[in-house]
Structures are given as C-alpha cells and as structure tokens.
Structure 1
C-alpha cells in the first residue's frame, strides 16, 4: 500500500470558498475513485470489484476549487470507500481532532465544528457531513444541492 499526503493552500481561503458554495465551516470534499490497473495474476481475486474490473482505489480530498489537499491510494478495488477512509491517516487525524483547528461556528442555535463533506458511502460524523437520502423534503433537497 502506498500513502502520500499533499497539503495545499491556506485554510481560511478554502473555508471562504466553501461558504460561497453554500457550505459554511467546510474544509474539503472527499470521495474515492477506482483506477483501472493490470492486476497481478497471483492477486487478481483481491483486486476484482463488483463490476468485474481490476482497479486500485484512490481516495482524495479536494478544496473548493477541486484541487487535491489529501490523497490516499494503494488499496485494491474490493475495498469499500468507507473502509478505506477508516484506514487512512486523514481519518485518524480527523477522529483525534489533530487535522483541523478546533474552530466552530453557530448555525442557527447549533454549534458546527469544522467538517468535510462526502457522498452517501461515508458514515455521518460530527466532522463529516453527507447528503440526505430517500424521500427528500425541500429543505433536505436544498442541503444536498
């Protein structure tokens, strides 16, 4: 497994950029991508995914402009995004509170910590927001947008 972390940019402009996108106190957006590879013959079963391809999974966090701020790569295509995330150094830093400053804002009457956003594959955490699923009322639909 390969692991390389890239940190680009200053936190304040990134957070300001996410505010203009409608999401205050956000540090980044995270997702995984399957990169097709030629699987090693003796390990092919470990790389095949649900679509019958042989990828390696890349997890990336980006800023408000889509520029990489964290990359984690090297897991086989059988690995689910959420499991790969839980095994990344970014997750460990977010879970222990050492990745971002302890900065919170008030949204209505709720205190909101600095967070990242991910898709439905990720688990909802205090520091990771994800979209609502299923039957959406207008306010939840606006949140997802």
Structure 2
C-alpha cells in the first residue's frame, strides 16, 4: 500500500474506534439510568441487572456489530502551513518577458517549456489525499532557479510558496528525470572521426576529446566523512567531463 493509503486506513480505524467507544459510553449511561429506575420500582434484582449490563456491553453485542457496519470513514484532514504562490502564478508565468527568463533561469521561456514537455512523463504525478502535488512546471523551475542563484533552500521556498525540504526534493526529482530521459539523448560520443579531425585542425593530433574534472563541495555524512575528503582538505564530489572540439559534452561521470 502507498503511504497515503496506509495513513488513510489508520485514520479511518481511529475514527471508527472513537465512535464505537462513544456509543458504548452512551449505552453504559442508559443502562445505569434504567437500573436506577428499576431499582426504585423494584422490578428486577441486582443480580439480574448485573447480568443484563454485562451482556449489553459485550464486544460481540449485536448492536455494536450493526453500528460498525453502518459507520462511514470520516474524511481525513491534514494541517499544512499556508504559503503564497502569487509570485510564480501571476508574475513569472504571465508577466515576465523572455529576457527576464533568460537572466533568472539561464534559458528562454520557450526552451523552459520544451524542457517541461520532455520531463513531464517522469514528473507527472497524481494528487493524493494529503495534498495536491506540485506542477511539473514549478518543480522544473525550482530545479533551475536554485543552481542559477545563490539563494538558500528557504529563500527559494519563499519565492515559490513551498517548504525548504520541498525545494530539495524537487531538485532531486528533476535531476533523476533528466538522467532517465535526457542524458542519453543529449550527451553522446558523437562522430569520433569528426572530433579527431576537429582537434587536428586546432593543432591537437589524434585527440578524441578534452577531459577535466572539478570538485563540488558537499556536506558529507558524519559516519563516512573521511571517504569524501579530497586532496585539498574539504569534502566534495568529483565531477569528470569529456568534451569534443566544439566544447560539447560527450561524457559525464560523477562520483
């Protein structure tokens, strides 16, 4: 079962249990009132009243079973902090011109929408009972905005009306979608002979590519920090890239 389904089932069980307990308490009060009236009238002995009370409150009592069959699960409600999405909905999507898209997202709006269409098959999820999922457009925008600006996760979250943890989750989701759908289409080895000829024209004979690497600073896991310390003394992930004579990536490796 999905986490949302498990949560809904637990909430439904709790609600049903509360209703049954309330029903049993009401039955208890009714029986006690009836017992007092009968005792005053002298209709039954105390022993008969005790037996009748214990039978009425038995877990297998037919009234409780009927009640359980008639109880409907209450609609689960979850609390969430209200945030504003006006900046994204009414300013970025509708007002900003193409030059501003290029400055803020490092690409034109047409390129952004094309990227959105390519990533939609991997990012289009269904809403659940807890909340509506972020649109594909907003998740792609968050993933582009964060590395294009020096803002923190909290600041980006305020911009798009989401929590800071949602910013990190959106970046991972979009990165996985790019790896799954686009890397194999965009980053290819290409025509090896054309690359060799291109480097030869630049004065580098028998060269199939230019390779280099860079260290990306990270916060390493505390129990494995020693595995991420580089020769410069800080924790990082190593990115290695290979490009052709035109500067286009032909191979990327991160580890």
Fold in common (TM above 0.5)? no
Q: Quick check: which has more Rg, 1 or 2?
A: 2
Higher helix content, 1 or 2: 2
Higher strand content, 1 or 2: 1
Q: TM-score, normalised by structure 2?
A: 0.26
